[in-house]
Amino acid sequence: MFYKKNKSKYRVAREGVRFKSLACGEKTHLTEFRLSKGAIIPKHSHPHEQTGYLVSGRMKFVIADEGFIAEAGDGWTIAGNTEHGVEVFEDSVVVEVFSPPRKDYLP
């Protein structure tokens, strides 16, 4: 699967959180998120391993009760079934890989 950059096809996950799939294979799923300052992603968990990179912005993660301030250039991995949440301090762009692919995120 190839992805050609475009500014459309973002889906709304919740207020202040938009995303789109960039590429998806049998075992991995590449997704871009655009998060607005002040957005909150409540603590949740899912079976997918989640590895991310903060392209721009600033956010606070809480992963299994441990806080982490992420700034542009920082990365993370969250094991599957681990509770995590996010508070967005600045408009942010995130690229994340999920394994296995998140079928609920596919177009």
Q: Does a structural domain hold residue 76?
A: yes
- Inside any domain, residue 81: yes
pLDDT at site 7? 74
Tokens of 41: 């992603």
- Residue 2 located in a structural domain: no
The predicted pLDDT at position 1 comes to 64
Has residue 91 been placed in a domain?
yes
The answer to whether position 7 is within a domain reads no
pTM to 2 decimal places? 0.92
Q: Is residue 84 part of a domain?
A: yes
Q: Tell whether 33 is covered by a domain.
A: yes
Per-residue confidence (pLDDT) for residue 106, from 0 to 100? 86
pLDDT for the residue numbered 8: 73
Helix, strand, coil percentages in the chain from 3-state DSSP, rounded to 5: 5, 60, 35
Count structural domains, the chain.
1
**Do 92 and 54 contact (CB within 8 A), yes or no?**
yes
Domain that holds residue 76: 15-102
Please give the full DSSP string across 67-104, using - where no structure is assigned: EEEEETT-EEEE-TT--EEEEEEEEEEEEEEEES--GG
Which 8-state DSSP code applies to residue 26? S
- Print pLDDT tens along the chain (107 aa): 677 777 778 999 999 999 999 999 999 999 999 999 999 999 999 999 999 999 999 999 999 989 999 999 999 999 999 999 999 999 999 999 999 999 999 87
CATH of the domain at 28: 2.60.120.10
Is 8 domain-assigned? no
